[in-house]
Structures are given as C-alpha cells and as structure tokens.
Amino acid sequence: MSYYPTEEDLPPLGALCLDYTDDIHRPPGDVIMSSSYKWPVIHEKIIGATLWKVVDPNEFSEEYFQLYVQACKNLEAKGCIGIVTSCGFLAQIQGRLASAIDIPIATSSLLQIPYVLTIISPRKKVAVLTFDPSTLCKTHFNGVGITDDMMKRLVITGCKPGGPLHRIITDGDSYIHEELENELVNLAVELVNENSDIGAFVLECTQMPPFAKAIQKAVKLPVYDGVTMVNWFYSGLVCKTLPEDNEKEAGLRKRQRSKKEMK
C-alpha cells in the first residue's frame, strides 16, 4: 500500500477562503481543513468574496477575478505547491486561474464529472448534489470542460432555501450534524427514486463530504466530492512512498518466455 511516511514533512496545500465563512463550523471532511488530510493546508481569504458574489450564474468581472489571482500568488509565496478552494461554484474560473498562476489549481469537485462519466456505463447518469441548484449552470460547467453532451448525462438537485445547509450558510444557524445528514441523504434517495439510471454522485459543496459515506450507504452508488478530488490532486503533487520490494533478487533472473509470447 502506498503511503506518506509519518516523519515526512509534507509541503502545504493552499486554500482560497471566501469572505463569509470565518465562523462556520468545519468538521473533518470539510474540503479546506487540514484535519481532512495528511498534509497541512494554508488559508487565504479573498476580501469581498461574499456568498452571492461567489454563488453567481454570471461570469466574474476581470477586476473581481484579479482578487482571486492575487490570493493565489500570496499562497504560492507562502510555499504552497497547489491550490484548492472553499466553494464548488468557483469552477467557473478554473481555466482563468490556471492560466494566471504558476502552480496547479483545482477549484471545484465538479472537475471530477468528466472522469466519473467515463468510468460508469454510458447508459448511466451522474447526479450532482449542490448548495444551490437554481444558480449552478453552464457558466460553472463550462469552466471545468463539461460539454453540452456531457450535461445531457447530469441530473442536478440541491439544498432548498430554509433547509439546514442554507440556514447555516445564509443565516448563521447552528451546525447540527444529524440535520445536515438527513437533508442530504433524503435529497440523494429522492433523486435515485426518481431516476433509475443514476450511476454515481458528485457532491459540489465544501460542506458535503462529511456526509458522503451516509449518502453512499443510502443509495449504494459511488460518491465523489471535494475531498476525493483533493486527495487525487495532492497525490500527483507529492507522490506517495511505496513499500520496499522484498523480492528484488528474484527479479534479476532471466524470465522463461513461452511460445505464445514469441513472434
């Protein structure tokens, strides 16, 4: 099994933080928390990146976009080897940011959709569970290379205004794990009951990964989220260590080839 040695000093990952989530409870599993990973995460707040300026169906202006560019450069100067974000809606600036900075960036769990569509049957669809289904649109999907043909295989649902997740984010209500879990599991189960051709889930929101296992238990399907994306992302930035080959001597022998291998 590949691993990161406990004594290895792993370089940090940078995380773009928005200007409205300072006091939100973030348990292990939240995409931007060091407690979710084996490596440290350094945060950089983008002043002015308020909720509805981020969860926006319109393309960001160049002036506003430059705030994100500067935040990325600040993280690079602090020694970060890659950058993630605290909102899946930042998918819309994936390409723009990648073009503007010198280190890799992964803005959204939605980056996984083309991959997930490829590994499941072409007869199956991907369910996308999002913070705000009324706002998530082509602006965001285009940003991570999701084509119109791919979008035909997406089924999108999300949290309702007045529900637990919206109350936490928009109203500052208490974070009650069981209420959030019930909301997200019920949404997933309802979607599967209405769409028998769903083959996998992708969770858009940063607050959703702590409930991925409960969703998977309920729907019995693959579930991908921001944490699965970051784990893959970092595994290429810093390759894991492999166990020692205890059979190195055996590998020195000349292999006897069979007739079926000969030309």
Model confidence pLDDT, tens digit, residues 70-101: 999 999 999 999 999 999 999 999 999 999 99
Beta partners for residue 241, in sequence order: 3
* CA 174 centroid distance within chain: 24
Q: Is residue 78 part of a domain?
A: yes
Instruction: Provide the 10 A C-beta neighbour count for residue 35.
Output: 10
User: 156 lies in a domain?
Assistant: yes
For the chain, what is the total number of helices (H) and then of strands (E)?
A: 10, 8
Q: What digits encode the pLDDT tens for the residues 166-189?
A: 999 988 899 999 999 999 999 999
Residue 61 resides in a domain: yes
Residue 22 has pLDDT above 90, yes or no: no
Q: Is residue 247 part of a domain?
A: no
Query: pLDDT for 203-216, tens place per residue?
Result: 999 999 999 999 99
3-class secondary structure, 28? strand
pTM here is 0.94
Please tell me the distance from the alpha carbon of residue 188 to that of residue 51, in angstroms, as a whole number: 24
Whether 246 maps to a domain, the answer reads: no
d(CA 83, CA 209): 18
Domain residues for 123? 13-237
In a domain, 242, yes or no: no
User: CB neighbours of 172 closer than 8 A, spacing ≥ 6?
Assistant: 23
The answer to the question of residue 83 being in a domain is yes
Token code pair at residue 233: 């992302």
Residue 145: which of 104, 98, 94, 99 has the closest Cα?
A: 94
The answer to whether 127 and 157 have CB atoms below 8 angstroms apart is yes
How many domains does the chain divide into? 1
Whether 6 is in a domain gets the answer: no
Contact 93, 68 (CB under 8 A): yes
Listed residue (225, 54, 214, 233) closest to 127, CA to CA = 225
Kindly report the CATH number assigned to the domain that includes residue 136: 3.40.50.12500
